[in-house]
Structures are given as structure tokens and as C-alpha cells.
Amino acid sequence: GENVEQHPSTLSVQEGDSAVIKCTYSDSASNYFPWYKQELGKRPQLIIDIRSNVGEKKDQRIAVTLNKTAKHFSLHITETQPEDSAVYFCAAMVSNLNNNDMRFGAGTRLTVKP
């Protein structure tokens, strides 16, 4: 089955700097890659996603890139703010009609220092 690895496990940046989180996946059939932000004691929040027919997607300060050949995808946050501090999870899913098993990475704890 699918295996998703996420790096780094912790990341500390200064306010205004950029943050990059990287994930690799094992199943070449994976075709959907969402990113979730989870603040302490709260639900995971979908912040951006990308499908396999697209190489890059951007939404304001957040962007995701996908390299299907290398089987890795990354989250980029620019101009970080203290409220970006949270645990970020990547996920990969083979989205089909029968078994949508979404596999999550272990998470990256991002701390943005003011």
C-alpha cells in the first residue's frame, strides 16, 4: 500500500521567512495530494490540494508543487506569520471509484517566531 514520508518533523522560522515542507510517496497510482493544517486541539483544516495532472498550485502565500516522476510534493509558505504556527500534514490518495485510502505523513511542527 501507499507509504508517505514527511520532512522535516519540526521546523522553526523567523516571521517573514519562507517555510518548505517535503513529502514523498511510494504508490505511483496516487493522484490526489492534499495538505492539512492542525492547530493544537483542533481539527485538521484543508489548506491546499493538488491533483496529479497539475505540477503547481498557488493560493496567496501558500503553494504546492508536485513531481510525479520523483514521487514527491512540497508545501511552500512565504512571508510566514506567527498564526502559521501549527502541525502540517501531507497526504496522498489513489482516488478511484472503489477504495479511496488516504495516507498521511507523520506531520511537521512549524513554529514561526515573531
> Is residue 47 involved in binding another protein (CB under 8 A)?
no
By CB under 8 A, how many residues form the interface with another protein? 29
- CB 33, min distance to another protein, A: 11
Total residue count of the chain as it appears in this document:
114
Tell which positions 49-78 bind another protein, by CB under 8 A. Answer: 49, 51
> Is residue 46 involved in binding another protein (CB under 8 A)?
yes
Q: Given CA atoms 20, 89, 97, 25 in this order, what sign does their dihedral have?
A: positive
> Is residue 36 involved in binding another protein (CB under 8 A)?
yes
Residues with Cβ within 8 Å of 36's Cβ and at least 6 positions away in sequence, in order, are: 44, 45, 46, 47, 88, 89, 91, 104
> Is residue 48 involved in binding another protein (CB under 8 A)?
no
Identity of the residue, 6 or 80, whose beta carbon is nearer to another protein in the bound complex = 6
